[in-house]
Structure 1
């Protein structure tokens, strides 16, 4: 295991002296821009598509907003923080035809390089600067004087200084306060996709929905079923984050621990492992990425799925509970 680097180990000049265009002003783009400015990066411009609803937010935050083509002509480095699935279109239509020679490309996920959505020119530093967590959390932790654990990688080092730029960027968004580690584009991509599909999003949601339905079928009220199978997920996640899995088991009731241990192996049985294997195969062979990018580029991705989710009984139970706890039904 490689020892981490911290802010005290890193020279921030490579990013502070850089003309930096940040493409996208969602959770990642806004958090990175604000943190980098607070870390002394003075020459930042936000690059957005014409008509982007994020323009007013970026301007209200005090940033100059420019078009994507102009950003490609102006910047020493571009931080491409738009959604991964949009990278091919953005690169092909706006960056590649106009880019400044020697311009570096910084990404917060390995997806578009690992799967070949972007074909980098030989004169470009291609850098991964990944703060591991939701984009909004980058800013939240920075404001606490902390950060999210960071991982860096270099796919292409045309300048001979790509590593220094990657480390400076991560230190600038706060990762140097908790530790920065090396990785590869492949490792970050595979781990990120697998984790969110089988545990953090796909697995958790599947368990929550199925367990809610089973309790309601057994005659339990939707409100009680929602509390025990969905609402309380946060409290267990907080315990695991603070104390680890073993520490979580030590913190909960003995009844809960005993019951969990009785069913844990059955849930993680052969069929689940086969599901994991199928998910990993699709990630490794690129078929998941191809399907997803094609779906996105066809338009209206997941609109129908999201509409169906809103009609599920578990959603009605959750909205009712939240309205009582928080005063709204969001």
Structure 2
């Protein structure tokens, strides 16, 4: 394991140099890994594990869209694709990758298969940390671990196929066998992580919920809408407003920030852009930080989890979601975006 200096703070990270794929395969050579759920994370993690040489099966409710997607991805009914209960019975490692609401619904079914010495794997700490609301309480004689890729399942798979990887956090909640930590590392390497960093279930879920609602999605979408609407209200065309708000950020600037850092970006723009951005940065921080503090407190208190469980468990949740997403999709901002994307040149 390597000690890396992150801005003056020493952290332990695990890379493929310290724990190569061959070691990961050897660590899990007697294990059968069941991926439960084939929605967001399931496809990417399972396909990467399969391609890396691990023994993988899929557990999914039969006949639905995800079942058909699994068959299209090469999983074979009765050989590597089973209904949830049968997959759990056949596995020694159960990767519990259903949605948070789905995990609550399927828990009693999965729990029956958690015999002594098995491993229960999560990619999100929600079900465990908020177990007073979810009732997900594993038996004491199983390992409970977490590997949380810091990106979507689609990105995990796409980068894997390019020979790259999404960074992942790892954690151990229960170590019944004494091997939980090494299994977490092996699975983290197996699913295609770039490197692994240590956390615990509580920190993972608090940071994840804050990030999703904050800069990764909620705040980003809100800021897009705010700037676009101001530009439009001042007479700018939809294409100009979209290019200045979304297109330049996503297609030009963010890849450079990812490669070189924000200071490099400031240093490599005109003095006009440089000075203005640096002067306004503090104002945006001052405006946004109280909202982030409020958000984190809502997450840490459990109130956000309660709200999500209630809303996500509603029978008409999908219908309401479709209405919300249609409103975004049909807004002028994202209609302009669809038109701009079609115009992107292929050189």
Q: Is the TM value for this pair above 0.5?
A: yes
- Tell me how far apart the structure 1 counterparts of residues 335 and 162 of structure 2 sit (CA, whole Å): 35
Q: Is the 8 A contact 2:114 2:142 kept in 1?
A: no
User: Which segments of structure 1 move beyond 6 Å, counting only runs of 4 or more?
Assistant: none
Structure 2 unmatched runs, 5+: 1-9
1:143 to 144, 158, 161: 161
Show the counterpart of 1:296: 312
Say yes or no: does 1:260 pair with 2:282.
Answer: no
- Tell me how far apart the structure 1 counterparts of residues 102 and 241 of structure 2 sit (CA, whole Å): 38
- Tell me how far apart the structure 1 counterparts of residues 342 and 73 of structure 2 sit (CA, whole Å): 32
Pairs aligned (count): 322
Structure 1 unmatched runs, 5+: none
Say yes or no: does 1:312 pair with 2:343.
Answer: no
Show the counterpart of 1:108: 123
Show the counterpart of 1:245: 262
Q: Deviations over 1:136-187 (max 9, x none)?
A: 2222222233322222110011111111110110111222xx4222111111
Say yes or no: does 1:26 pair with 2:39.
Answer: yes
Say yes or no: does 1:46 pair with 2:65.
Answer: no
Show the counterpart of 1:60: 72
Say yes or no: does 1:128 pair with 2:174.
Answer: no
**Higher share of residues assigned strand:** 2
- Tell me how far apart the structure 2 counterparts of residues 147 and 16 of structure 1 sit (CA, whole Å): 22
Give SS of 2:13's match.
Answer: coil
Say yes or no: does 1:272 pair with 2:288.
Answer: yes
Cα distance, 1:215 vs. partner? 0.6
Q: Is the 8 A contact 1:77 1:106 kept in 2?
A: yes
Q: Is the 8 A contact 1:110 1:128 kept in 2?
A: yes
1:204 to 215, 220, 242: 220
Q: Is the 8 A contact 1:131 1:150 kept in 2?
A: yes
Q: Is the 8 A contact 2:150 2:168 kept in 1?
A: yes
Show the counterpart of 1:323: 342
Q: Deviations over 1:25-71 (max 9, x none)?
A: 234211111211222213x1111113221223322333221111112
Q: Is the 8 A contact 2:34 2:87 kept in 1?
A: yes
Q: Is the 8 A contact 2:59 2:88 kept in 1?
A: no
- Tell me how far apart the structure 1 counterparts of residues 280 and 196 of structure 2 sit (CA, whole Å): 37
Show the counterpart of 2:18: 9
Cα distance, 1:272 vs. partner? 2.3
